[in-house]
């Protein structure tokens, strides 16, 4: 079945145009324009895997104030969402807005770390069994899981993987138990944040897309944002006003928390990120 026919079958109208957009890891992405209704975004994945993304977007829409695209159809092979008008501008007001929205998200707590179901980051698995101890969760469900995936694919060298396993045995020396688990978006890089004009004409966050949600130490989100330079100084100043980071973050936890996204990027992109993993493990003995 063609994309137009599949869309018509679920929303009653066939698009007049389908414009390819920059996509994610597992899907083709299109802007769909119609004769008599607002545009949609379609993600198409013949191999499936889109239902979990739709679930995560719906969870954020129902349980939080984080702006996300509204879903119109969710299945394994086809995800339809409202098209969010956006532009390239970011600016101070937009960064402050992003800080306030993520601080509010991180203030949503759970009794334990993890989530009610497994999620994904891109196309890669994120197992989320509820776990009382944060160090146990981060070691067993993030570092060791992603390290093994990257080792089995051949992208993480065997010696680096062995060093990662040894490091995990002493992880308690480098991270502590945060006050409470906080909900994180999980993949806040520049491509997953859309900006648009606010009511005052200043740029604001229009939507966060492609989530990888779970309940974590919220500092993992800030470390990731710093790693990828998603936002600038205005974001970090405002976020810390709302949610001060605990002592020891910059001195150690930031690097340790960035091991997980670096392992993810190792699996996706290969050697440059594997070397960054190696560098952190060397730095911490």
82 DSSP β-pair partners:
40
* Nearest of 276, 262, 260, 217 to residue 126 by alpha carbon: 260
Return d(Cα 135, Cα 191) in angstroms, integer: 29
CA distances from 218 to 4, 127, 222, 247 (A): 41, 17, 7, 14
Show Cβ contacts of residue 2 under 8 Å, excluding neighbours closer than 6 positions.
none
Could you list the active site residues? 187
Question: Strands 40-44 and 78-82: what pairing?
Answer: antiparallel
Asked if 30 and 3 count as a contact pair (C-beta separation under 8 A), the reply is yes
Show Cβ contacts of residue 246 under 8 Å, excluding neighbours closer than 6 positions.
176, 178, 219, 253
């Amino acid at each position: 079945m063609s994309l137009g026919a599949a869309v018509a079958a679920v929303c009653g109208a066939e698009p007049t145009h389908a414009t390819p957009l920059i996509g994610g890891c597992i899907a083709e992405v299109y802007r769909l324009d119609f004769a008599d209704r607002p545009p949609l975004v379609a993600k198409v994945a013949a191999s499936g895997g889109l239902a979990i993304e739709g679930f995560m977007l719906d969870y954020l829409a129902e349980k939080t104030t984080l702006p996300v695209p509204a879903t119109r159809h969710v299945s394994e092979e086809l995800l339809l969402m409202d098209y969010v008008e956006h532009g390239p501008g970011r600016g101070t007001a937009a960064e402050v807005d992003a800080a306030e929205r993520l601080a509010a998200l991180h203030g949503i707590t759970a009794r334990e770390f993890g989530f009610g179901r497994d999620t994904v980051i891109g196309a890669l698995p994120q197992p989320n069994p509820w776990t009382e101890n944060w160090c146990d969760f981060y070691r067993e469900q993030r570092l060791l899981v992603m390290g093994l995936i990257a080792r089995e694919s051949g992208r993480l060298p065997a010696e680096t993987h062995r060093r990662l396993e040894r490091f995990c045995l002493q992880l308690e020396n480098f991270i502590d138990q945060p006050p409470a688990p906080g909900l994180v978006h999980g993949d806040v890089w520049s491509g997953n944040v859309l900006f648009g004009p606010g009511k005052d004409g200043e740029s604001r966050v229009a939507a966060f897309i492609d989530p990888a949600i779970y309940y974590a130490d919220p500092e993992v989100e800030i470390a990731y944002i710093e790693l990828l330079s998603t936002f600038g100084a205005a974001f970090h100043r405002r976020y810390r006003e709302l949610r001060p980071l605990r002592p020891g973050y910059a001195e150690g936890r930031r690097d340790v928390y960035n091991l997980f996204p670096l392992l993810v990027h190792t699996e996706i992109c290969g050697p440059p990120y594997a070397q960054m993993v190696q560098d952190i493990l060397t730095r911490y003995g």
